Amino acid sequence: MTVHSSKLGQILAGAGGNTLYLFARDTTSTSTCYGRCASIWPPLLTTGATAGPGVNSSHLGTTTRADGTVQVTYNGHPLYYYMGDTKPGDVTGDGIFSCGALWYAMRP
**pLDDT above 60 (res 28):** yes
Over the range 25-53, which residues count as b (16 or more CB within 10 Å of their CB) and which as e? ebeebebebeeebbebbebbebeebeeee
Query: In whole angstroms, how far apart are CA 29 and each of 13, 33, 39, 40, 55?
Result: 19, 12, 19, 20, 18
pLDDT at residue 50 in the model: 67
Q: Strand pairing partners for 62?
A: 72
**pLDDT confidence band for 81 (50 / 70 / 90):** very high
Question: Measured between alpha carbons, how far is 103 from 94 in angstroms, rounded to an integer?
Answer: 6
Average of per-residue pLDDT values in the chain: 91
State pTM to two decimals: 0.91
CB 43 within 8 A of CB 69: yes
